[in-house]
Each structure stands twice: as C-alpha cells, then as structure tokens.
Amino acid sequence: MTFKEAFEAMKHGAKVKLPSWSGYWFWCIPAQSILMHTKDGKDIDIRSTECVDYTFTNICSNEWIFANGTNCPALGGMNTFSFHEAMKQVKNKKRVRRLTFESDTFLQLARATFGACLDGKREDRFDSKEYSIIKACESEKDSYYTKCEQYVPTQTDMLAEDWVFAE
C-alpha cells in the first residue's frame, strides 16, 4: 500500500511496516505523531529521527504492509519477504536465504567474478570491478566458504514469499 493508505490505517489503530523491517510504525494519540517501534523495542517519535533521508525514503515507498504476529518479529512473527525484496537487500549488502535453504546457506553480493568465487574466499578478499550474486555455505570455524556457486534463481525462488535475512 502507499504511505497515504498506511498513514490512514495508522490513524485507525493499525501497525504498519515495510517488508524487510523487524519493527513497525504506529500512530500515538497522546503525541499526535507517528512512533517508530524499533527492532530493539524502543518507541521513537518520527520527529526525532536521526536519519532523515532514510525516513523520507521509507515514506516514499509504496510497499507498506500491515504489521502483525505473523510477519513482524517485534510482534512475535518472522520477517519473510518476496524475491524482489530479497534482491533489494542483496544489493544493500545483506545476506538473505529462503526458509527452504539449509541453515548455513545464503545469498550475498560478491565483488568478484564467478571464477574468484570458486576459490572459496570471502567477498572482502575479492578485488574486482564486477559483481556476482553467490550462493554460499560458510564454515563456522574459519572465514572461508565451504561451498560457493553462482546463484541462478529458479521460478520457484522468484515466486516465493519465504525469503529471510541470513543471520
């Protein structure tokens, strides 16, 4: 939904969020303002935001959804999102995975050619002007990948709504 729709819903008691958020926004009647409930459990008045650019970018989004106990970690749910949102997060250098992936498998943006990915090195050791999206498994013992392959999404991956952040 658009922010205009989300704002009207907040004024009627709804909690709203963007798909990748762990927290949510809601309307506070006493403050007559939007409060941002963060993933850390803090309520911050939107007028006190420290990242004005980030806040306004969020307001301009048309991807607002209702926050509830299913899709919002701050309300006891799990933050799942679409393939489109997953790729946006990969571009922002976040690791993502599907719930159907093995627990140590994730996607991330690697600044390297696919050939460099095959060497099993971490992305911060790559030195290239090219980028690849890789699917990797990371060893808990060291900083090297135990398995690394160039990621080619399946139609199932592209239609899935079970993408999450890889911890």
Segments forming the whole domain that contains residue 95: 83-165
Q: Last residue of a domain, which of 43, 75, 107? A: 75
Q: Last residue of a domain, which of 51, 75, 99? A: 75
Q: Cα–Cα distance between 99 and 67 in angstroms, integer? A: 20
Whether residues 106 and 159 fall in one domain: yes
Whether residues 88 and 161 fall in one domain: yes
In this structure, how many other beta carbons lie within 10 angstroms of the beta carbon of residue 109? 18
pLDDT in tens, 56-107: 999 999 999 999 999 999 999 998 999 999 999 998 889 999 999 988 888 8
Q: Last residue of a domain, which of 42, 75, 108? A: 75
Whether residues 44 and 106 fall in one domain: no
Whether residues 90 and 154 fall in one domain: yes
Whether residues 14 and 60 fall in one domain: yes
Whether residues 88 and 69 fall in one domain: no
Beta bridge partners of residue 27, listed in sequence order: 34
Our count of domains for the chain comes to 2
Whether residues 64 and 97 fall in one domain: no
pLDDT in tens, 36-67: 999 999 999 999 999 999 999 999 999 999 99
Whether residues 113 and 139 fall in one domain: yes
Contact (CB, 8 A) for 69 and 77 = yes
pTM: 0.72
Whether residues 40 and 110 fall in one domain: no
Q: Name the residue type at position 45.
A: D
More confident call, 4 vs 145 = 4
Whether residues 92 and 156 fall in one domain: yes
Whether residues 97 and 38 fall in one domain: no
Whether residues 91 and 52 fall in one domain: no
Q: Name the residue type at position 81.
A: F
